[in-house]
């Protein structure tokens, strides 16, 4: 997992894994994107690996660091405040044993706090200044159902083999940019993005004490501009969406700077308005 100033999340996620799941021949790795002595002490006290990584602060690059550090053939990456359904880790291990050459990107339904509401995937469209809207495919309602392809899913929990990990754009920083982007890279490399109905996970969204990291819309827009440009995706829907909700000059300045400074390109864009 990657974490940013979230000792409680690290503690309860790791302890739940250790108490309730089969971790035979599994290494636990925590990439600390903040630098918390309490987190370091706890992680090392349970013989897990602690890696301090603060060179780039954000929600994507630290997760990518896990794939460079891991020694196992497959990696399951999660946020530091995610709990997995009973039996899900054992079934994931079995899935990889049955598919040793898997080139797919594996995810599962997110389960909300009522433990009833689930969302199986993201529909890749812009809404409320976010790329991707959670949806529920009926095929994912039965935890014994077969895997099926999805456009994308939130990156609170995901898995793939290290050999096929395509990596995040190194220019990403701050919040966002990964959803949809990493899924498209997997597909372009020949893999599929699958929902495994039994790989269910709960994500703590509530932060009564506040979010401990910078979550700026500027970073989110910038990262998606960089990702869209890398993949050759049309920027128009994104620009239209943001320009209708924010100062168009603000949007233009961020997009222009991202293309010039981070992509190294000057694209002819007709900005809305």
pLDDT 10s digits, 38-47: 999 999 999 9
Model confidence band, residue 207 (pLDDT cutoffs 50, 70, 90): low
Model confidence band, residue 263 (pLDDT cutoffs 50, 70, 90): confident
Residue-wise pLDDT for 192-205, tens only, equals: 999 999 999 999 87
* Cβ(153)–Cβ(194) below 8 Å: no
Helix (H, G, I), strand (E, B) or coil at 50: strand
Average pLDDT over the chain, rounded to an integer: 93
Instruction: Check residue 211 and give its pLDDT.
Output: 62
Residue-wise pLDDT for 141-157, tens only, equals: 999 999 999 999 999 99
pLDDT > 70: what percent of the chain? 93
Q: Is the pLDDT of residue 271 over 90?
A: no
Q: Cα–Cα distances in Å, from 89 out to 1, 81, 138, 243, 253?
A: 15, 16, 23, 43, 45
For residues 81-89, give the mean pLDDT: 97
Identify the weakest region by mean pLDDT among 56-70, 111-125, 219-233, 255-269: 255-269
Model confidence band, residue 265 (pLDDT cutoffs 50, 70, 90): low
Model confidence band, residue 114 (pLDDT cutoffs 50, 70, 90): very high
> How many whole angstroms separate alpha carbon 204 and alpha carbon 52?
23
For residues 239-261, give the mean pLDDT: 90
Cα torsion through 222, 225, 228, 232, rounded to 10? -140
* Cβ(179)–Cβ(107) below 8 Å: no
pTM (predicted TM-score)? 0.93
Q: Is the pLDDT of residue 54 over 80?
A: yes
> How many whole angstroms separate alpha carbon 156 and alpha carbon 158?
7
pLDDT > 90: what percent of the chain? 85
Instruction: Check residue 262 and give its pLDDT.
Output: 74
For residues 48-64, give the mean pLDDT: 95
Residue-wise pLDDT for 212-233, tens only, equals: 555 588 999 999 999 999 999 9
For residues 72-86, give the mean pLDDT: 96
Residue 101's DSSP bridge partners are none
Count how many Cα atoms sit within 13 Å of the Cα of residue 206 in the half-sphere of its side chain.
4
Residue 176 tokens, joined: 């966002």
Q: Is the pLDDT of residue 266 over 70?
A: no
Model confidence band, residue 210 (pLDDT cutoffs 50, 70, 90): low
């Amino acid at each position: 997992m990657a974490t940013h100033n979230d000792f409680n999340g690290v503690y309860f996620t790791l302890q739940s894994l250790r108490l309730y799941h089969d971790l035979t021949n599994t290494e636990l790795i925590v990439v600390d994107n903040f630098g918390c002595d309490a987190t370091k002490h706890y992680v090392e006290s349970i013989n897990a690996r602690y890696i301090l990584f603060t060179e780039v602060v954000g929600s994507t690059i630290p997760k990518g660091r896990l794939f460079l550090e891991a020694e196992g053939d497959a990696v399951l990456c999660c946020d530091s405040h995610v709990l997995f359904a009973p039996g899900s880790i054992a079934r994931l291990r079995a899935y990889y044993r049955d598919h040793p050459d898997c080139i797919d990107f594996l995810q599962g339904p997110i389960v909300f706090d009522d433990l009833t509401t689930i969302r199986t995937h993201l529909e890749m469209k812009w809404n409320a200044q976010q790329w991707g809207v959670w949806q529920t495919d009926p095929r994912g309602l039965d935890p014994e159902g077969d895997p099926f392809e999805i456009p994308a899913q939130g990156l609170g929990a995901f898995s793939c083999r290290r050999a096929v990990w395509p990596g995040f754009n190194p220019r990403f920083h701050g919040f966002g940019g990964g959803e949809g982007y990493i899924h498209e890279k997997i597909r372009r490399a020949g893999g599929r993005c699958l929902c495994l109905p039994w790989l269910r996970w709960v994500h703590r969204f509530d932060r009564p004490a506040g979010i401990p990291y910078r979550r700026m819309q500027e970073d989110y827009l910038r990262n998606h501009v960089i990702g869209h440009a890398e993949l050759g995706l049309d920027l128009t829907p994104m620009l239209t969406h943001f320009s209708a909700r924010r100062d168009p000059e603000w949007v233009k300045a961020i997009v222009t700077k991202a293309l010039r400074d981070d992509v190294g390109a000057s694209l002819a864009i007709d900005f809305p308005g």
